[in-house]
């Protein structure tokens, strides 16, 4: 008898909730938009104040202010590699744990192979050549390849030219790299590059470099001057040698699945904000690079030019023999877009 009245009570309570459940279902099926903004996590390894980080801050601000978006998308910007190094970030993006990332094109090649063409050594003559390529039909093809692999590129950011630095000796000729343990990004091409020059590559995440330099697990690394300065790598590796072996941009990408859910108006808003942020980033870059050179020199580091850049170019030919064929005619078309440009060398 008691059990029967319990069941009756339960039935009455459930019936009272029925209208609420029906209303919820109707709302969910009607496509009526709720006012809850979408929160998109955007990950980057750089610290606040670094030009790329400042560009991304601007990107988030521009979206927040865009009247057409009416606050529908808010960017949760996670700087300083708190969500992991770039490989982990790209894995998270691929599995939908985060929505956006700004990463170097070099580790991206492990996920989107076409990106690797941008990391080929000594391919770009200078920054002008790089931007000319990215703004051309070749750039569109690379963007299409990234999209196909699941990463929709919104804007390219300046990451200067990468050069070697170490704590043992200045690198003047390729032979000077022999026997040194050099950190590389998680990219097969970067490993092959360092091997071709006679050094031992050690693949590590960006945020592991500082400690590894201090403990002596590595003798050096390769990066642009702004990163050498912002990550304080100069404290433990005082020779920075301007061989400028690769000009590899960073790129701001969105997970393709999320991108496809946006309306055309929202896509335009995101692209516009990304382009404006990249414009700011490139402006800030030149100044930051100059200050980085001053800071590290004042701290007692030595920046040197290499004796003959062609000797380095020749030494890395095996990288072309192994990798260039993957990119069809892209390498030749990129070269054709260069040729006697007069821009200043990058750092």
Q: Could you tell me if residue 49 is left (phi over 0), alpha (psi between -120 and 50 degrees) or otherwise beta? A: left
The single residue among 43, 126, 166, 223 that binds ligand GCU, judged by CB under 6 A, is 223
Minimum CB–partner distance for residue 230 and ligand GCU (Å): 8
Sorted by sequence, the CB contacts under 8 Å of residue 271 that are 6+ apart come out as 154, 155
Please tell me the distance from the alpha carbon of residue 340 to that of residue 338, in angstroms, as a whole number. 7
If the CB atoms of residues 104 and 109 are measured against ligand GCU, the closer one turns out to be: 104
Does residue 103 interact with ligand GCU by CB under 6 A? yes
Residue 126 or 187: which CB sits closer to ligand GCU? 187
Q: Does 212 sit near ligand GCU (CB under 6 A)?
A: no
> Per-residue x/- marks for ligand GCU, 82-101, CB under 6 A?
----x---------------
Scan residues 149-208 and list those touching ligand GCU (CB under 6 A): 159, 185, 206
Smallest gap from residue 222 Cβ to ligand GCU (A) = 8
DSSP labels, 37-69:
PEEEEEE-SSPTTSHHHHHHHHHHHHHHH-TTT
Question: For ligand GCU, which residue of 43, 99, 104, 166 counts as binding (CB under 6 A)?
Answer: 104
126 binds ligand GCU (CB under 6 A): no
CA distances from 238 to 23, 165, 212 (A): 67, 7, 15
Pairing of strands 100-104, 38-43: parallel
Place of tokens 């260039």: 324
Do 120 and 307 contact (CB within 8 A), yes or no? no
Provide the minimum distance between the beta carbon of 270 and ligand GCU in the complex, in angstroms, as a whole number: 20
Residue 132 or 162: which CB sits closer to ligand GCU?
162
Which residues 256-315 are close enough to bind ligand GCU by CB under 6 A? none
| Beta carbon of residue 135, minimum distance to ligand GCU (angstroms, whole number) | 20
| Contact call for residues 189 and 109 (beta carbons, < 8 A) | yes
Find the angle CA(104)-CA(65)-CA(86) to the nearest 5 degrees. Answer: 15
Contact 103, 250 (CB under 8 A): yes
Residue closer to ligand GCU (CB basis): 66 or 109: 109
Contacts of 13 (CB under 8 A, 6+ apart): none
- Based on the shown chain and the rule CB under 6 A, indicate whether residue 110 belongs to the binding site for ligand GCU: no
Task: Provide the minimum distance between the beta carbon of 285 and ligand GCU in the complex, in angstroms, as a whole number.
Answer: 10
State the minimum distance, in angstroms, from the CB of residue 252 to ligand GCU.
11
Give the binding site for ligand GCU (CB under 6 A).
Answer: 45, 86, 103-104, 159, 185, 206, 223, 227, 250
């Amino acid at each position: 008898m008691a059990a029967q009245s319990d069941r009756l009570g339960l039935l009455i309570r459930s019936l009272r909730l029925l209208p609420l459940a029906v209303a919820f279902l109707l709302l969910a099926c009607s496509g009526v938009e709720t006012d809850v903004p979408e929160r998109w996590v955007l990950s980057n390894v750089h610290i606040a104040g670094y030009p790329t980080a400042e560009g991304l801050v601007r990107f988030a601000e521009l979206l927040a202010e865009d009247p057409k978006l009416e606050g529908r998308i808010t960017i949760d910007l996670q700087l300083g590699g708190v969500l992991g190094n770039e490989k982990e970030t790209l894995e998270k993006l691929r599995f939908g744990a985060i929505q956006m990332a700004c990463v170097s094109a070099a580790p991206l090649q492990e996920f989107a192979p076409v990106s690797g063409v941008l990391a080929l050594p000594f391919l770009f003559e200078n920054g002008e050549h790089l931007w000319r390529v990215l703004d051309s039909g070749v750039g569109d093809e690379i963007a299409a390849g990234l999209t196909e692999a699941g990463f929709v590129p919104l804007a390219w950011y300046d990451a200067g030219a990468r050069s070697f630095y170490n704590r043992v000796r200045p690198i003047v000729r390729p032979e000077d790299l022999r026997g040194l343990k050099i950190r590389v990004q998680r990219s097969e091409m970067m490993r092959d590059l360092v091997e071709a020059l006679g050094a031992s590559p050690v693949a590590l995440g960006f945020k592991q470099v500082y400690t590894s330099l201090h403990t002596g697990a590595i003798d050096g690394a390769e990066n642009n001057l702004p990163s050498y300065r912002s990550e304080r790598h100069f404290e433990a590796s005082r020779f920075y040698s301007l061989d400028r072996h690769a000009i590899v941009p960073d790129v701001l990408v969105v997970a393709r699945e999320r991108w496809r859910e946006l309306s055309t108006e929202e896509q335009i808003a995101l692209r516009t904000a990304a382009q404006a942020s990249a414009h700011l980033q490139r402006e800030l870059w030149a100044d930051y690079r100059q200050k980085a050179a001053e800071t590290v020199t004042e701290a007692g580091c030595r920046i040197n030019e290499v004796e003959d850049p062609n000797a380095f170019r020749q030494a890395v030919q095996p990288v072309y023999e192994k990798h260039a064929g993957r990119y069809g005619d892209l390498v030749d078309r990129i070269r054709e877009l260069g040729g006697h440009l007069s821009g200043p060398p990058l750092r």
